[in-house]
Structure 1
């Protein structure tokens, strides 16, 4: 589906959400909360029968999974190679993608900045229930009872797949630090051969500022993109909240390869 179609569908869902009660915007599927208008239950059920193709390319990131990520009937008619985006937990990704050895690029961001971004995204997107306060969203995020599930559950599930040659995990912070190098590594992973000029062109068009100013997104740009900074959590977290998140990170991810890759000491303390 092209970007114009995706933006149009997103705007349509936002309009529908204005007529919904807050309590009706979310539902549980296999114990995890999902937004009704972004991830309809029938789509999640149908995903299990989705057939992967050998040349599919998949981008995965916590926390947002959009209805257009897997438009199902549309995907069946999409010519190869297909670029698929999802924010599903790895256990919920159709098994055929594992069988076909689909290449998956997985992006993670430190949990403190993820929480801040998620909070603002929730309050700017009418498809999701509006949070009454930063404190309530912080507590809900830490408990894992947020749309698309627990950050730490996602992280630990991908930690188990770090040896999979068809999975590449990169961090938001790495890409912010050196986007050109990230483009080179990602292109190598997917088997693409790029000239240095192409690397630089892609990097220039992939900066946070360039994507936010993309005219094709229209008003959706302000919903999807906010600051894109590393360390903005310091403008939101109280010292007690920061310590509590440190404890949660140490409990779940300290000493893991993904935990080391996130460089938590540098970005979150």
Structure 2
């Protein structure tokens, strides 16, 4: 039988999650927490020897900053430029670099170009071959307040992650980097150092929300995908929150409602206390104020009352 559709595969994963005890859901690798239901240390070790093609497409996103959204855009762009119009969406364990068993790297060799890979990984944990081949990497960031709120809801709706007793508990863990994939601010500081490299492009969730066709066009141009304007428009229409949410059960199975919740900017105002807002403001000031990425995030516009 052919490979399961991503939706069916996700449903199987959902069922596996449900049988786990809270203490079985996480493990630590090199000081960072990961969900043990989809990640393992053997796969992290195998990542170091992954074979990379020059035309591979890499999307790196801190959790809940728009990975499913932009992955859809990249998959549609890759399909539009591919000679193979019958591109089959690969298994989620092939799409997401750090997911699945280490044997998956053999299967990756059979995927047609351009291969689209996603990761939530810190810059230091991206396979070295990605940088050596100068493969292009699109990095998406979202303002940290909305990222934290979205991540909180994701923790509590996802059976593969331990439930948080309250928003206050999650906020403190988020600020200390004691969540899966570690600290948002550590990720941001690492990528900020590489913003000017020609094979790296950083785009924000907020600029995509403001002008989705413009964002799709920027992404297409960065990867050298030459496509007519009407194709760009069509891909943008297919990637609105409303469009993706309406098809989420078909594309993501039981995870549909978990991955696609609101897709808005400014939802942080519904959960943050004034004290938490000030604490995040101070952290941003300490870590990112005066940096290129800090300016790109437009913190004063999106994270102040």
Normalising by structure 2, report the TM-score.
0.84
The correspondence of residues 46-65 of structure 1 with structure 2, limited to 5 A, is 46-63=46-63
Residue 83 of structure 1: aligned partner:
116
Q: Distance in 2 between matches of 1:31 and 1:47?
A: 17
Q: Distance in 1 between matches of 2:235 and 2:3?
A: 17
Residue 73 of structure 1: aligned partner:
106
Does structure 1 residue 161 correspond to structure 2 residue 194?
Answer: yes
Residue 151 of structure 1: aligned partner:
184
SS in 1 for 2:58: strand
Does structure 1 residue 254 correspond to structure 2 residue 289?
Answer: yes
Residue 5 of structure 2: aligned partner:
5
For residues 7-59 of structure 1, give each alpha carbon's deviation from its aligned partner in whole angstroms, at most 9, with x where no partner exists: 32322222122222101110110100000012122211111110111110111
Report deviation, 1:67.
4.3
SS in 1 for 2:168: helix
SS in 2 for 1:77: coil
Does structure 1 residue 19 correspond to structure 2 residue 19?
Answer: yes
For residues 44 and 141 of structure 1, do their structure 2 counterparts lie closer, same or farther at Cα, with a shift above 3 Å needed? Answer: same
Residue 114 of structure 1: aligned partner:
147
For residues 89 and 67 of structure 1, do their structure 2 counterparts lie closer, same or farther at Cα, with a shift above 3 Å needed? Answer: farther
Query: Which of 146, 160, 170 is 2:203 aligned to?
Result: 170
Unaligned 5+ runs, structure 1 = none
The correspondence of residues 195-234 of structure 1 with structure 2, limited to 5 A, is 195-214=228-247, 215-234=250-269
Unaligned 5+ runs, structure 2 = 68-91, 98-103
Residue 160 of structure 2: aligned partner:
127
Query: Which of 134, 138, 147 is 1:105 aligned to?
Result: 138
Deviating above 6 A after TM superposition, structure 1's stretches of 4 or more consecutive aligned residues are none
CA contact (8 A) 1:37 1:67 kept: no
Q: Distance in 1 between matches of 2:105 and 2:11?
A: 20
The number of residues matched between the two structures is: 268
SS in 1 for 2:190: helix
Normalising by structure 1, report the TM-score.
0.95
Q: Distance in 1 between matches of 2:9 and 2:286?
A: 40
